[in-house]
Homo-oligomer: A and B are copies of this chain.
């Protein structure tokens, strides 16, 4: 910019004005500046501009793993809202590792992103308190933050699991297995709660052995599914409480010896399986968009009165019957 000013024989401020399209520059002066810009191949350094301005026009989205379809759908939705607000988007994956989550979150904050959306991996987010106090809005997504009173945008996990379980009950099942993620994970706990609520509401007893929570690797899920679906006490239906569990269960149980099955979270091609896979579908686009809107509302102080308090916002789920969840107990 200094070079451009020198080449055009004008002051720095005049170059700045031309670059920013501000009014109050004689046409001939502007032309001279533009010629110099062209000749020198000048492009404004936005990082420098933003340093002076105080904002960085960027937000960060911290995910569990961006290659996961759920995460990438969240990303797209957040990106779209950010673009509307003139912001670029940083993304990062914690790989479900609390230390990495923290490291990345603080790295984003050190860059002074204008806001941060976090899909939490850890169970203690107090490290973000100084950031929030110093004015960086933080919104938690998919799971609430821990030890911290901040906005959270979540699926109606309990409601969805309850609806899915009730659907199996409505098709005649009484003995229903629940295979889920580690109970320390908020979504897993909520979904188990929904399962229990549906059983209780139908007046059905729950044998604790029907509930199998833990890591979602293939081997563990296969073992759980095998245990639940064999022997004299076998369940007649299965509620698989997340994507990876559902996938592992489908692989372990060939279609011809599969109990009724409802999964939490939709899968591409789910409708082309035989039978089609019945799921409780989340709406990642709505989740991501709402989280982003909330973030910008906070950033631009658009929240007034009681809206301004940290809130937990829920997005409903939708039950999509496709065949696997409508099989009566006998056929299993």
Contacts and interface: CB of A to CB of B under 8 A. Distances in A.
A27 interface: no
A251 interface: yes
Given A75-B91, A93-B79, A268-B267, A51 B47 contact: yes
A47 B273 CA distance: 50
A126 to B, nearest CB: 13
B41 A130 contact: yes
Contacts of A68: 72
Contacts of A247: 268-269
Interface stretch (A107-115, A174-182, A227-235, A304-312): A107-115
A107 B45 CA distance: 10
A44 to B, nearest CB: 6
A271 B274 CA distance: 12
A110 B88 CA distance: 12
A260 B112 CA distance: 55
A56 interface: yes
Copies of this polypeptide in the complex: 2
Contact of A88 (B43, B72, B107): B107
A302 to B, nearest CB: 24
Interface string A58-69: 100000011111
Contacts of A43: 106, 109-110, 130-131, 134
Interface residues of A, number: 51
B67 A72 contact: yes
Nearest to A109: B43
Contacts of A67: 69, 72-73, 75-76
A74 B193 CA distance: 36
Given A46-B110, A72-B66, A79-B91, A250 B272 contact: yes
A87 to B, nearest CB: 10
List of 3 A-B pairs having minimum Cβ-Cβ separation, nearest first: A72-B72, A67-B76, A46-B110
28 contacts: A43-B130, A44-B110, A46-B107, A47-B51, A47-B111, A47-B112, A51-B51, A58-B90, A66-B75, A66-B91, A67-B76, A69-B69, A69-B268, A72-B72, A75-B91, A76-B93, A79-B93, A88-B90, A88-B108, A247-B268, A247-B269, A250-B269, A250-B272, A255-B274, A269-B272, A269-B273, A273-B274, A274-B274
Given A47-B47, A58-B111, A88-B107, 11 more contacts: A41-B133, A44-B110, A45-B110, A47-B50, A66-B79, A66-B91, A75-B91, A89-B91, A269-B270, A273-B273, A273-B274
